[in-house]
Amino acid sequence: MKIWMAIVISGGIISIFGIIFHLQGQSVIGPESSFMYANPEWASYGIQIAIAGIIISGVGISIKFIKRI
């Protein structure tokens, strides 16, 4: 597997986790017994984690195009 593909996949997984954390913080998904459920801090953390995952994926895509040149 190419390194850029591993970076893009890792960023995608991190983004998915961030979205899940955000939705748990917003009381949309997850068990009510979770410490993240209905917690506005985790709604904010989830967005931050999702953005970090998007940035990581962007770095992986950039590596692909830089190596192509």
Work out the average pLDDT over 3-23: 97
Helix and strand counts by DSSP (H, E) for the chain: 2, 0
Residue 69's pLDDT is 67
Chain-centre distance of CA 59, in angstroms?
14
Cα–Cα nearest to 29, from 14, 15, 19: 19
Task: State the average pLDDT for the chain.
Answer: 94
| DSSP letter, residue 51 | H
pLDDT at 45: 97
| pLDDT at residue 16 tops 70 | yes
Contacts of 48 (CB under 8 A, 6+ apart): 18
pLDDT tens digits, residue range 38-65? 999 999 999 999 999 999 999 999 999 9
- Give the chain's radius of gyration (CA, Å): 15
